[in-house]
Amino acid sequence: MLGHSYSHDAFLRGCKVIPGGVNSPVRAFGSVACEPVFYDRAQGSRIWDVDGNEYIDFVCSWGPMILGHGDEDVLNAVRAQMKRGVSYGAPCESELLLAEMIVELVPHVEQVRMVSSGTEATMTALRLARGFTGRDKIVKFEGNYHGHSDSLLVSAGSGVATLGIPNTPGVTRATASDTLVARYNDAQSLRRLFEAHPREIACVIVEPVCGNMGVVAPVPGFLQELRELCDEFGALLIFDEVITGFRVGLGGAQEAFGIRADLCTFGKIIGAGFPVGCIAGPERIMSSLAPEGPVYQAGTLSGNPVAMEAGLAQLHKLERLEKSEHLYANLADKAARLAEGLRELSKSRDITTQVNQFGSVLTLFFASAPVFDWTSANASNREHFARYFRCMLDEGIIIAPSQFEAVFVSYAHSDADISRFLSSAKRALEAIAK
């Protein structure tokens, strides 16, 4: 391992005052059998730890740094706003501008409610769906992660899957009983739930492209079948686009797949790395939120002006780069080169892997069969992944410390960065093969 003496000291200090030494379980390195790296600074595609070690960053703060770290357009917007104020707890023009931009870019969206995190966004979307339909039950998919609100921790992915935590400790049986679980990429499993509870299900929430059991794309027709089933049984369809939003394209998954969602949730990218999220949808549903309607939601820091200005700067730049440089196609090309390179490296070393890629995100699974749902993802060899992770860390490549997360490609990643990743992966896979 690279020298991490200050990181080690920081981790020990953290364990005394923070549960597990980290403020989010996905940051723990327990599943890869080492201690977490504490970071000091970041720029472009690079990140440095507190010991001065330099890495190429393919975590990108779990997705939002799609332009890379320290983008000047974003920083200039943040600096200008900080001179005017960092928080008002009151309406400001920048939240209007960001909402207007989301309405303009995302199909079927007429209104937006800003919140401070993806978890808040999905939690509010469920409450809104229940209030709008007058029904209590929700459906989620096994291995999908929608934040840590009580209703959505059942059969969740991300850190819950990584740490092997039982589904619902701390969640009451009554709450858990209102959450029904279907199998991702299996529309018939959803039909069976609807037929068993025909007038009780308020909504179906789904990651249109999974990013929290590793990257798993929908099979052809799956999302369309979800739309048709929700229409048939009178439930709302919610796309959780906290990861896919503005990463698979300016119009998100609704545009990419041509599927209408009744509500969608965004986070991460719309704040350029600042804490932010939002719920978006048509006025006929969104108007049920207070103060216009009876479904209550509030937040002192919702629409924080610094986060709004950062998000505006990022979305404007994404829009410009898409028009001038075909940004999303170029990001997908970089990710495809990584994916194909990993497939070739695995094949030449007689290591059984699966590489799933969609747009600018991908996952290398140490699995013997195609990965298309939670059961197939969970069959992956986690010991192989842990060895792979540690080797990549030694090579100066940062990826997520979990088999069930994604590699994120950013605008700042150069051709040399892609080549460096594959060279490092070659040595990591050779170590596993031996």
Pairs from 81-86 (Cβ < 8 Å, separation ≥ 24): 81/305, 81/306, 81/309, 82/306, 84/305, 85/305, 86/304, 86/305, 86/306
Structure tokens at 175: 């709450």
> 295 near 132, Cβ under 8 Å?
yes
For residues 292 and 420, give the distance between their C-alpha atoms in angstroms, rounded to a whole number.
53
Q: Are strands 201-206 and 236-240 parallel, antiparallel or unpaired?
A: parallel
Catalytic residue among 145, 328, 388, 411: 145
**DSSP 3-state assignment of 372?**
coil
Active site residue 388: no
Within 13 A of 199's CA, how many CA atoms are on the CB side? 0
- 145 catalytic? Reply is yes
Query: Measuring CA to CA, how many Å separate 157 from each of 207, 251, 403?
Result: 11, 25, 11
- Of 137, 140, 268, 317, which is the active-site residue? 268
DSSP string, 318-367: HHHHHHHH-HHHHHHHHHHHHHHHHHHHHHHTT---EEEEETTEEEEE--
Among 240, 262, 373, 417, the active-site one is 240
Q: 307 near 271, Cβ under 8 Å?
A: yes
Please say whether the beta carbons of 81 and 57 come within 8 A: no
Decide: 408 and 212 in contact? Cβ < 8 Å.
no
CA angle 252, 229, 132 (to 5 degrees): 75
CA pair distance 396, 37, nearest whole angstrom: 12
Cis upstream peptide for 291 (omega within 30°)? yes
Q: Active-site residue 268, yes or no?
A: yes
* Residues taking part in catalysis: 145, 240, 268
